[in-house]
């Protein structure tokens, strides 16, 4: 996966850490399937799902943080250098839409 | 109202449906890992995580609905029949705590 | 305010407490207007709005708790006594819809 | 990039609109108090509170959007011009913390 040009995103340097967190979340989802298979008490299943939701929320907040500090930041700098705000406007609009989805999901 | 063995919960008759939904969610979480592996654009990863959150929220709401309509309902009936509200009080407290976690997760 | 028949809801005995909490929330909303009037830093305004959201969420959870412990409970008892589940079914459906709104709002 | 006085924030040009929205929200909170005074059915009160939560969420998202497009943007430009990232780092950290609070409130 040569990334000579610019396919690095905010999270690129943390890829291994994100992979580990998602693998753990995947295991938690499998755990829920097992709980349901074994007729675990509803409330205990719900508690586990809430834990997964929190873990995913935390992944999302991390990705958003890196998105603002890298992609959005670079787009602002580029607009400042060139006077062309097109890419910056797109990046900001995308970030705002993603924050809104995050808040509502 | 004999509940001799009683390991049936609200969701018992829908177990297969819940299993399918969770298997799909598990696949979506694996999809996120792949996206990160392949340096997918942050915003697209965030959109996918939001979709997983909505799917999990919907599973939780389904479980809660069946919990109220079965476990809580039976506890209320039992208290009404026997005058002993202990189990009902516990079930209601658990449901309220689970709703609070759901709202905050 | 004669309530000879049955216009008591779960929250009736706590009306004064709920009024006080809502009056405080109303004051916090007025505080936000003042902050905006005085060009307060956006982040500080956002922090205050988050505090109001938490306060409202806590009022909602309180009302829901009392709804389950009173209205839903009485509907279940009534269904158990009479064999007519119509009102109970309605009450449960309403509670589930309200929980879903709460989770998504 | 002279910011001689600088007490303009992202929302400054929309102050009147924000004031109107908050005045309406204040009225909705007063409406809840009236509903509780008049023993309105719990579910109807909950529906109204959810409407207020959505309105506040929408105000928060608007403020955040303007914060990113103004305060954060100007801090990034300033860092780019001067090489001093102190203010930008602070502004980004504040924005991330506010997004996290928003997602959890």
Q: Do C99 and B69 touch (CB under 8 A)?
A: no
- Identify the CA nearest to C32 among candidates A52, B20, A28, D60: D60
Mean predicted confidence (pLDDT) in C51-73: 96
Query: H/E element holding C80?
Result: helix C73-82
What whole-number distance in Å separates Cα of residue D66 and Cα of residue D11?
6
| Residue A97 neighbours by CB under 8 Å, 6+ apart | none
Alpha-carbon distance of A94 to A103, in angstroms, equals 14
Residue C2 — very low, low, confident or very high, per pLDDT cuts 50/70/90? very low
pLDDT score, position A2: 38
Touching check for A55 and chain B: CB below 8 Å? no
Residues of chain C in contact with residue D87, where contact means CB-CB under 8 angstroms, are none
Residue of C nearest to D48 (CA): C60
Per-residue pLDDT at D2 = 40
Give me the pLDDT at residue B17, please.
93
* Interface with C, mutate which of B76, B96, B97, B104 (most C CBs under 10 A): B76
Question: What CA–CA distance (Å, rounded) separates D52 from D31?
Answer: 11
Instruction: Quote the CA–CA distance of C104 and C101 in Å, as a whole number.
Output: 5
Rounded Cα–Cα distance for residues A55 and C25 (Å) = 31
pLDDT digits (tens, 9 = 90+) for B35-50: 999 999 999 999 999 9
Residue of D nearest to C25 (CA): D29
pLDDT digits (tens, 9 = 90+) for A43-74: 999 999 999 999 999 999 999 999 999 999 99
Instruction: Assign D12 a pLDDT band (cuts: 50, 70, 90).
Output: confident
Contacts of D18 in chain C (CB under 8 A): 36
Contact C102 D46 (CB under 8 A): yes
User: CA dist A5 to A1, A2, B27, B35, Å?
Assistant: 11, 8, 31, 19
Interchain CB contact of B77 with C (< 8 Å): yes
pLDDT value at position B3?
A: 42
Tell me whether A98 touches chain D (CB under 8 Å): no
Is pLDDT above 50 for D15?
yes
Burial of B55 (0-12, 13-18, 19+ CB in 10 A): middle
Neighboring chains of D (3 or more beta-carbon pairs < 8 A): A, C
DSSP reduced 3-state for A2: coil
- CB-CB neighbors (< 8 A) of D65 in chain A: 92, 96, 99
pLDDT of residue D1: 38
Burial-class residue A85 by CB neighbours within 10 Å (0-12, 13-18, 19+): middle
User: How many residues does this entry show for chain B?
Assistant: 105
Mean pLDDT of C25-49: 96
Q: Is the pLDDT of residue C18 over 80?
A: yes
The two structure tokens encoding residue D30? 């007063």
Per-residue model confidence as pLDDT tens digits over D33-85: 999 999 999 999 999 999 999 999 999 999 999 999 999 999 999 999 999 99
CB pair distance less than 8 Å for B60 and A50: yes
**Angle CA C3–D27–C105, to nearest 5:** 90
Contact residues, chain A, for B49 at CB < 8 Å: 56, 59-60, 63, 105
Position of tokens 């959005």? A72
Q: Does the distance separating the beta carbons of A77 and D72 come in below 8 Å?
A: no
Across the C/D interface, how many CB contacts are shorter than 8 Å?
A: 130
What domains does chain D contain, in order, with CATH numbers?
14-104 (1.20.58.1000)
B41, A9: Cβ pair inside 8 Å?
Answer: yes
Q: How many B-C residue pairs are in contact by the CB < 8 A criterion?
A: 61
C42 to chain D, any CB pair closer than 8 A? The answer is: yes
SS (H, E, C) D17-78: HHHHHHHHHHHHHHHHHHHHHCCCCHHHHHHHHHHHHHHHHHHHHHHHHHHHHHHHHHHHHH
Which chain A residues are closer than 8 Å to D87 by Cβ? none
Mean pLDDT in consecutive groups of 10 residues from the start of chain B, 105 residues: 51 86 98 95 96 96 96 97 97 97 89
Least reliable range by pLDDT among B61-70, C4-13, C80-89, D23-32: C4-13
Q: How far apart are CA D97 and CA D93, in angstroms?
A: 6
Decide if D103 touches A, using CB distance below 8 A.
yes
Q: Which residue's entry shows tokens 């009302």?
A: C63
């Amino acid at each position: 996966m040569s990334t000579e040009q610019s396919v690095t995103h905010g999270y690129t340097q943390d890829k291994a850490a994100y992979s580990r967190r998602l693998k753990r979340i995947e295991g938690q989802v499998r755990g829920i399937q097992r709980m349901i298979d074994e007729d675990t008490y509803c409330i205990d299943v719900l508690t586990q799902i809430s834990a997964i939701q929190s873990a995913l929320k935390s992944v999302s907040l991390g990705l958003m943080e890196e998105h603002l500090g890298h992609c959005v930041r670079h787009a602002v700098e580029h607009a400042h250098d060139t006077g062309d705000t097109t890419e910056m406007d797109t990046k900001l609009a995308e970030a705002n839409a993603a924050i809104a989805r995050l808040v509502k999901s």
